[in-house]
């Protein structure tokens, strides 16, 4: 397990690098407390990070996993800047599973005892200026842990250290890297209620099967199950997102027109990303003085080749593991196998009179 801090020579931003012995890694910027890279054992990047991302305060970095706090969304969802200010503030390291020097205000970094995870914990507290726009005193901690094998767990804790209560909304705005958005399915959100950011926050119920994408998409699914599968057919990879304390899930792809309007996003990049965001949006979290809230997400990436039969993401979502194919494919294949068996038996029986015809 290795954890170290380095300054990115291109962006000038400091980042924490987490590595585990099998080769997976993750990077967390102190700016925004933002995970900007998560790689599997083969060194393949699993998160989308725009080639046009801007690394300059107060711009949030486009890609990775921005932290949206204390407000998710823009003007219609609160008085703060879009997605709050946590994603464009400087955080500091407070804990690590490997001894690290202090940073920013040189506060000591305490050690977390862990033999099977590379861990760093960052802290954000409000400045006087922050308290002018959001008059509350809080501690926001984000613990990022990379396990052996490469699962990435992010645990956020918000503590009210003020003398009065406050409310907030929150999201871990995960940009997943995909090979071709038109060949991606999201399972786990079927039949749920959502509100549509592209239709004046109109509330509807998801009708279809899994979600697929052929146009701009921007919805907040409400009170979702705690497992969502994102199946990238072209890459034959499935992301499993498990969450806790974050009841909602935002799904976003800007598509072609909006991509062109974003200065920090390539015109064609919408093809290679999908945001699936574990969030607490519909019902703001309320904290009384001294209270603490915890939200957590765990990301894993597994091979999902149907033909090698390694994983049925539908079964992953439903929590069963003894089937390798979705039901419709299973029944197609079993019907096909039965017919093949019948044909072979017929052929054999016509040559061998000892085999009875049926």
Ligand X SMILES: O=P(O)(O)OC[C@H]1O[C@H](O)[C@H](O)[C@@H](O)[C@@H]1O
Question: What is the closest distance, in whole angstroms, from the C-beta atom of residue 207 to ligand X in the complex?
Answer: 21
Give least dist CB 72 to ligand X, A.
8
User: Is position 197 an interface residue for ligand X (rule: CB under 6 A)?
Assistant: yes
Q: Quick check: is 277 catalytic?
A: yes
Q: Which residues pair with 187 in a beta bridge?
A: 229
CB of residue 188 to ligand X, shortest distance in Å: 17
DSSP string of 232-285? Answer: ETTTTEEEEEEEES--EEEEEE-HHHHHHH-TTS-TTGGGGEEEEEEEEEEEEE
- Does 88 interact with ligand X (rule: CB under 6 A)? no
Nearest approach, Cβ of residue 345 and ligand X (Å): 56
Which residue among the candidates 121, 187, 277, 298 is catalytic per the annotation?
277
Shortest distance (Å) from residue 20 CB to ligand X? 29
The site for ligand X, by CB under 6 A, has a size of 8
218 binds ligand X (CB under 6 A): yes
* Window 34 to 63, contacts with ligand X (CB under 6 A): 60
- CA 33-287-153 angle, 5° bins: 35
Catalytic site residue from 20, 173, 187, 269:
173
User: Does position 237 bind ligand X by CB under 6 A?
Assistant: no
- Sole binder of ligand X in the list 15, 83, 159, 237 (CB under 6 A): 83
- In sequence order, the 6+-apart residues with CB closer than 8 A to the CB of 343 are none
Catalytic: 173? yes
Residue 49 or 316 with smaller CB distance to ligand X: 49
Map residue 2 onto helix, strand or coil.
strand
Rounded to an integer, what distance in angstroms lies between the CA atom of residue 89 and that of residue 341? 65
Residue reference for tokens 């862990």? 114
Contact 64, 135 (CB under 8 A): no
Q: Which of 46, 275, 301, 317 binds ligand X (CB under 6 A)?
A: 275
> By CB under 6 A, is residue 252 in contact with ligand X?
yes
Residue 250 is a binding residue for ligand X (CB under 6 A): yes
Calpha distance 337→319 (Å, rounded): 27
Q: Alpha helix (H) ranges present in the chain?
A: 128-133, 255-261, 313-318, 327-351
| Residues engaged in binding ligand X (CB under 6 A) | 60, 82-83, 197, 218, 250, 252, 275
């Amino acid at each position: 397990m290795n954890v170290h801090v380095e300054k990115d020579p291109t962006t000038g931003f400091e980042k924490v690098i987490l590595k585990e012995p099998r080769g997976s890694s993750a990077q967390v910027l102190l700016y925004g407390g933002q995970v900007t890279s998560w790689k599997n054992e083969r060194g393949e990047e699993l998160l989308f990070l725009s080639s046009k991302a801007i690394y300059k305060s107060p711009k949030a970095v486009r890609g990775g996993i921005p932290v949206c706090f204390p407000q998710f969304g823009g003007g219609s969802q609160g008085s703060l800047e879009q997605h709050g200010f946590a994603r464009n503030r400087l955080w500091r390291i407070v804990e690590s599973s490997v001894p690290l020097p202090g940073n920013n205000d040189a506060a000591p970094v305490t050690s977390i005892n862990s033999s099977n995870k590379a861990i760093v914990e960052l802290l954000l507290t409000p400045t006087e200026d922050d308290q002018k726009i959001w008059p509350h005193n809080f501690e926001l901690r984000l613990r990022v842990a990379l396990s052996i094998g490469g699962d990435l767990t992010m645990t956020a804790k918000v503590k009210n250290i003020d003398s009065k209560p406050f409310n907030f909304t929150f999201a871990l705005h995960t940009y997943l890297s995909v090979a071709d958005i038109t060949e991606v399915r999201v399972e786990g959100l079927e039949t749920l209620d959502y509100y549509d950011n592209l239709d004046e926050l109109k509330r509807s119920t998801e009708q279809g099967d899994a979600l697929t994408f052929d146009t701009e998409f921007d919805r907040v699914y409400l009170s979702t199950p705690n497992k969502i599968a994102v199946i990238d057919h072209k890459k034959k990879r499935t992301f499993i997102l498990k969450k806790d304390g974050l009841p909602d899930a935002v799904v976003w792809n800007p598509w072609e027109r909006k991509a062109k309007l974003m200065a920090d996003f390539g015109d064609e990049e919408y093809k290679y990303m999908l945001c699936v965001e574990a969030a607490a949006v519909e019902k703001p979290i309320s904290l009384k003085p001294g209270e603490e809230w915890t939200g957590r997400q765990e990301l894993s990436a597994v091979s999902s080749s149907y033909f090698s039969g390694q994983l049925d993401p539908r079964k992953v979502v439903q929590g069963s593991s003894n089937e390798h194919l979705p039901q419709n494919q299973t029944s197609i294949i079993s019907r096909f196998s039965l017919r093949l068996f019948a044909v072979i038996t017929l052929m054999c029986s016509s040559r061998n009179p000892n085999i009875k015809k049926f």
